[in-house]
Amino acid sequence: AQTVTQSQPEMSVQEAETVTLSCTYDTSESNYYLFWYKQPPSRQMILVIRQEAYKQQNATENRFSVNFQKAAKSFSLKISDSQLGDTAMYFCAFMTHNYGQNFVFGPGTRLSVLP
Amino acid sequence: DAGITQSPRHKVTETGTPVTLRCHQTENHRYMYWYRQDPGHGLRLIHYSYGVKDTDKGEVSDGYSVSRSKTEDFLLTLESATSSQTSVYFCAISGEGVSYNEQFFGPGTRLTVL
């Protein structure tokens, strides 16, 4: 079975600084997708960034980038120039080409951006 | 934003009563999911559907049933609600083609079982 671990339940960062959220996963699959979702206080789940396992290049979306280490089964999220609106829960998620049970979420990291 | 609505958005009920939550999509996506979110657990899959009348169990399916009679609607039923089912419930959808490897989420339903 696939598992996703986020070892940092809570983190904080000063506005305009950079923060990295950690995620590790366990799987025997070779082809899969990894995601970071953001959940602000509004409770809406918002996709931040996505990485295909077969791509060696790390995904980037504006101020958000990932460090994908396939051999180490690690998928960290870096947020640059942190903004107050980045305050949220962040969930790492894993998915294979099978549906349903194979979309697995980590327990989340609560990020607070401080003014 | 993907067209996903959930109803009701909030519900308070008593132990032992039946409860049905509704998820409605306007995207014509094939796959629909029900998750529950609890502190320290992230989102856990309850049931999912891969087509009309085609459903399967997820990680935490005990005490829940689902039905999908139309592409756009996916119902989650708690036959006899218990306090352990107090949670926030999310519906999600995913399609085929370009968007098949991403899930889009509804706004969530907060359910309290007293």
B107: its two tokens: 């706004």
Please indicate if any CB of chain A lies within 8 Å of the CB of B3: no
**Where along chain A do its domains lie?**
3-114
CB-based contacts of A83-87 (< 8 A; 24+ apart in sequence): A83/A15, A83/A113, A84/A15, A84/A113, A84/A115, A85/A40, A85/A113, A86/A38, A86/A111, A86/A113, A87/A40, A87/A41, A87/A111, A87/A112, A87/A113
Tell me the domain boundaries of chain B. 4-97+105-113
**A-B C-beta contacts closer than 8 Å:** 50
pLDDT per position as a tens digit, A33-78: 899 999 999 999 999 999 988 888 999 999 999 999 999 999 999 9
User: Is B42's CB within 8 Å of A35's CB?
Assistant: no
Which member of B31, B43, B101 has the closest CB to residue A33?
A: B101
Hey, are the CB atoms on B43 and A100 less than 8 Å from each other?
no
Tens digit of each residue's pLDDT (9 = 90 or more) over A89-112: 999 999 886 655 468 899 999 999
Q: Could you tell me which CATH number the domain at A3-114 has?
A: 2.60.40.10
pLDDT tens digit at each of 114 positions of chain B: 569 999 999 999 999 999 999 999 998 888 899 999 998 888 999 999 988 999 999 889 999 999 999 999 999 999 999 999 999 999 999 876 555 568 889 999 999 999
**Second CATH level (architecture) for the domain B4-97+105-113:** Sandwich (2.60)
B52-68: per-residue pLDDT in tens? 999 999 889 999 999 99
Looking up tokens 């549906």, which residue turns up? A99
